[in-house]
């Protein structure tokens, strides 16, 4: 895209009072942005309101600076980094899946060397997952990636990060591919990373997957942007898997977006004592598909059987859950049986097992070192299933 063409698109999309619906109407009526600006007031007035017509007659405040910042950002790919694209409607890089939405963005900013795939699955959840929840997200994402499914999420802390990392690991284990391992849809401009601690993860996604934003370069992490971007997470995906979610939460917004778009919603059940499972349980009561394995998702979406299944061995065991061999081994340990799968305190374990406190602490430490148990907030313990 030439600089003048970019300037016209940015002028059209950033004109105050001219929302995406009005912009799409103008494009449908006149074609490309230059034709919109060349149209008479009377012609424009047949499509949009008088105030909007007046707003179109001059570049918005800060337009030149935005064009300069965006052009500079686009040229940054010339240093050998991942490709950077401004992709308006009609651009070959614009994800076809979003065109089926009722409110597709007029333009997207993309960073990555791979274009959006035809098949993807969204994995979302709480920013404060239990250790098991984070492991489930990682394991499901890893499994999907080994099968060539891109994993879409939002680069947030917790479940999102675990899903992105699992997908990157799965794609690497499967030898990579032509499509992105994972897609991160963010609520800032692509010149920024939020949260900042995910800078290294964002760079890996740009190298092996794709970063997507509908927000202009320079946009800070405004709270209102994140719920809005959730519709794109759902829109890019065949279905949305919610791993852990409180009520209310952004993950449930993503699930609602999926429902409104006619997409499938899946939820992993959890402990009735875990507040982060209540959102998933609510979704299941409302008709979301309860899933225990990646195969459940594949069968519901009628995807072909896996040709590669690194995460689940032969593809029939539970991604993110204990494997049969592990269950048998765990059954020989009364302490693990006493722990169950809910978080539990030391006093409760003493009561359940009759093991003296000092000995119990030693046993729990051994299980921690063996990655069978983790300590969680409040001095509680939780058993962890090995993926």
What does the alpha-carbon distance between residue 57 and residue 34 come to, in Å, rounded to a whole number?
12
Picking from 28-32, 93-97, 330-334, which range would have the lowest pLDDT averaged per residue? 330-334
Within 10 Å of residue 328's Cβ, how many Cβ atoms?
A: 10
Residue 315 makes CB contacts below 8 A (sequence gap 6+) with 295, 305, 306, 309
What does the alpha-carbon distance between residue 37 and residue 382 come to, in Å, rounded to a whole number?
62
Picking from 27-31, 112-116, 258-262, which range would have the lowest pLDDT averaged per residue? 112-116
Bridge-partner residues for 109, per DSSP? Answer: 86, 213
CB 198 within 8 A of CB 161: yes
Residue with tokens 């500079």: 72
What does the alpha-carbon distance between residue 362 and residue 63 come to, in Å, rounded to a whole number?
64
Q: State pLDDT tens for residues 173-191.
A: 988 777 899 999 999 999 9
Give the H/E segment covering residue 150.
strand 150-153
Number of helical H runs and strand E runs in the chain: 17, 11
What does the alpha-carbon distance between residue 229 and residue 154 come to, in Å, rounded to a whole number?
8
Q: State pLDDT tens for residues 340-350.
A: 777 888 888 88
What does the alpha-carbon distance between residue 93 and residue 115 come to, in Å, rounded to a whole number?
6
**SS3 state of residue 365:** helix
pLDDT tops 50 at residue 310:
no
C-alpha distance from residue 264 to each of 23, 118, 162, 298 (Å): 30, 16, 21, 11
pTM: 0.83
Give the H/E segment covering residue 240.
strand 239-242
Q: State pLDDT tens for residues 282-307.
A: 999 999 999 999 999 999 998 875 53
How far is C-alpha 258 from the chain's CA centre? 13
Alpha-carbon torsion (339, 341, 343, 348), positive or negative: negative
CB 95 within 8 A of CB 239: no
């Amino acid at each position: 895209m030439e600089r003048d063409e970019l300037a016209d698109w940015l002028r059209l999309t950033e004109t105050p009072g001219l929302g995406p619906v009005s912009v799409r109407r103008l494009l449908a009526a006149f074609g490309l942005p230059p034709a919109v600006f060349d149209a008479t007031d009377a012609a424009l007035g047949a499509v949009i309101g008088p105030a909007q017509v007046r707003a179109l007659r001059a570049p918005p405040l800060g337009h030149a600076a935005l064009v300069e910042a965006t052009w500079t950002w686009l040229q940054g790919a010339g240093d050998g980094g991942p490709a950077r694209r401004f992709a308006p409607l009609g651009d070959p890089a614009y994800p076809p899946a979003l065109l089926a939405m009722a409110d597709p963005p007029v333009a997207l900013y993309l960073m990555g060397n791979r274009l959006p795939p035809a098949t993807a699955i969204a994995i979302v959840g709480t920013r404060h997952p239990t250790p098991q929840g984070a492991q489930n997200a990682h394991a499901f994402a890893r499994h999907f990636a080994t099968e060539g499914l891109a994993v879409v999420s939002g680069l947030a802390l917790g479940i999102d990060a675990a899903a992105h990392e699992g997908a990157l690991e799965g794609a690497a284990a499967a030898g990579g591919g032509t499509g992105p391992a994972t897609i991160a849809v963010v609520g800032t401009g692509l010149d920024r990373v939020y949260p900042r601690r995910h800078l290294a993860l964002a760079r890996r996604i740009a190298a092996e997957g794709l970063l997507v934003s509908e927000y202009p370069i320079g946009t800070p992490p405004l709270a209102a942007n994140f719920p809005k971007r959730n519709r794109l997470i759902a829109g890019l995906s065949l279905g949305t898997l919610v791993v852990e979610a409180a009520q209310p939460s952004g993950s449930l917004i993503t699930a609602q977006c999926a429902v409104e778009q006619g997409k499938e919603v899946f939820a992993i059940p959890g402990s009735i004592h875990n507040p982060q499972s209540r959102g998933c349980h609510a979704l299941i009561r409302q008709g979301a598909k309860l899933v225990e394995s990646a195969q459940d998702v594949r069968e519901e979406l009628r995807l072909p059987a896996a040709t590669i299944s690194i995460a689940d061995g032969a593809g029939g065991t539970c991604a993110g859950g204990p494997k049969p061999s592990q269950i048998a081994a765990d059954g020989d340990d009364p302490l693990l049986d006493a722990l169950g799968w809910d978080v539990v305190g030391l006093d409760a374990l003493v009561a359940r097992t009759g093991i003296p406190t000092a000995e119990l602490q030693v046993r729990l430490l051994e299980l921690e070192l063996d990655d069978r148990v983790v300590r969680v907030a409040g001095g509680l313990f939780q058993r962890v299933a090995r993926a």
